[in-house]
Amino acid sequence: MVIREFVTEVNMKFDKFIFSSRRRHEIKASKAKHRIIRNIKKIFIYVFFKKQPATSAKANMSST
């Protein structure tokens, strides 16, 4: 749930940035947005699984 709320907040901020920027920058901005969101999700997942025991974290990371 925390990840979803955070991602929607990031989405809204980037949408404002995209709409305020010029047309030719929109594609670059949207690609950057997706890249950043992917990285944020990876960090959140890593932090979340790091709190669990190492064996279950490794099993969960390998399954994704």
- Residue-wise pLDDT for 7-44, tens only, equals 777 777 766 665 655 555 666 767 777 888 888 888 88
Give the pTM.
0.36
Q: How many residues does the chain have?
A: 64
Among 4-8, 29-33, 51-55, 58-62, which is the least confidently predicted range?
A: 58-62
Contact call for residues 36 and 10 (beta carbons, < 8 A): yes
Structure tokens at 60: 């969960």
Structure tokens at 64: 């994704």
